[in-house]
Structure 1
């Protein structure tokens, strides 16, 4: 299904546009290429994107594959995932995304990432090991409940074993880890 085949192609285009711009801002933040002004503008934009998505959720529920298509549903997930300054919104988005995933209208692995992010944002241990800490010392999972059984939980939502996921992220961010001024950032695992 393409955005043109979605029930709301206009929402699909807006979601993809917002998420693409946000990803570009985050890439600069991870690579420490933003000055204080641009960093503040990026955070303001993330907040505005989350508020916009909040209105969409109130009107339509989770913008899933049928409403906006898979690419825009992924964009909605990305916006919700990075709305750390609005933990109440993140929890609401998690609930709606879970319902959509159970109905076959969203990806269950997206729900697992958002569920973990909402737990971490609220100071709790994550379930699936999708949220990682990146700094100049390396990449490590954020606090994790029952790490000895994480791979079993990951398998239930279609995620690879944690060691495979960590290695993929290490390869992706290796150049950034070598930089002397590498920031400490919480990020989602590469799906």
Structure 2
């Protein structure tokens, strides 16, 4: 084992697989490619992912680079980010992720996204402008606190200006859109 090897490669593998499966489910959900039974299975899988993440946080605090490596740390962040059905879990994960960032064991951008997600999910204005809603006509930024200073706050956590980030998302959505896809409203993230 080298200094860059994660302490828990088994946990790293599990999180990477779970995050990939979660992303595939979300892609189908966004495109309305799921029937009622599949939607129920999808919600159950999301609940199971959150339950696993709760266990990991209880045992290890935030699973950062040292424990699981950068790819799995991104996977853990993605699972926490999309655990919208459990606001208490997301708030706890945000706190632990912030501590990991302060210890140099996680990315500050991941914390900014998760922090914004918890704010948006609770109906409060976000700080960094990372969350948006997909609507029939495109994307709409969720409410932001003090929009005039948004780009300064984004820069403070290493995020690009909001106009560039929104344009990137719009391009990605245009590329991902397939003929026959239905429009739906989904909380999304802006890099």
TM-score by length of 2: 0.94
Q: Show structure 1 runs of 4+ deviating over 6 A.
A: none
Aligned residues of 1:137 and 1:177 also touching (Cα < 8 A): no
Structure-2 residue corresponding to 1:181: 182
SS at match of 1:5: coil
Correspondence list, 1:85-164, <5 A: 85-164=85-164
Closer/same/farther in 2, CA of residues 139 and 25 from structure 1, 3 Å limit: same
Structure-1 residue corresponding to 2:56: 56
Aligned residues of 2:46 and 2:83 also touching (Cα < 8 A): yes
Structure-1 residue corresponding to 2:83: 83
TM-score by length of 1: 0.94
Aligned residues of 2:6 and 2:68 also touching (Cα < 8 A): yes
1:102 is displaced (CA, Å) by 1.1
Which whole-Å CA distance do the structure 2 matches of 1:179 and 1:121 have between them?
Answer: 29
1:52 is displaced (CA, Å) by 0.7
1:140 is displaced (CA, Å) by 1.1
Closer/same/farther in 2, CA of residues 177 and 144 from structure 1, 3 Å limit: farther
1:31 is displaced (CA, Å) by 1.6
Structure-2 residue corresponding to 1:74: 74
Correspondence list, 1:1-80, <5 A: 5-80=5-80
SS at match of 1:118: helix
Which of 135-144 and 161-170 deviates more?
A: 135-144
Which whole-Å CA distance do the structure 1 matches of 2:124 and 2:178 have between them?
Answer: 26
Aligned residues of 1:138 and 1:177 also touching (Cα < 8 A): no
Aligned residues of 1:136 and 1:179 also touching (Cα < 8 A): no
Which whole-Å CA distance do the structure 2 matches of 1:143 and 1:176 have between them?
Answer: 25
Closer/same/farther in 2, CA of residues 72 and 184 from structure 1, 3 Å limit: same
Measured against aligned partners, the alpha-carbon deviations of 1:143-191 in whole angstroms (never above 9, x if no partner) come to 11111110000001100000000000000012539756211111112x4
Aligned residues of 2:80 and 2:93 also touching (Cα < 8 A): yes
RMSD: 1.8
Which whole-Å CA distance do the structure 2 matches of 1:129 and 1:177 have between them?
Answer: 27
Closer/same/farther in 2, CA of residues 72 and 166 from structure 1, 3 Å limit: same
Which whole-Å CA distance do the structure 2 matches of 1:71 and 1:130 have between them?
Answer: 21
1:35 is displaced (CA, Å) by 1.3
1:91 is displaced (CA, Å) by 0.2
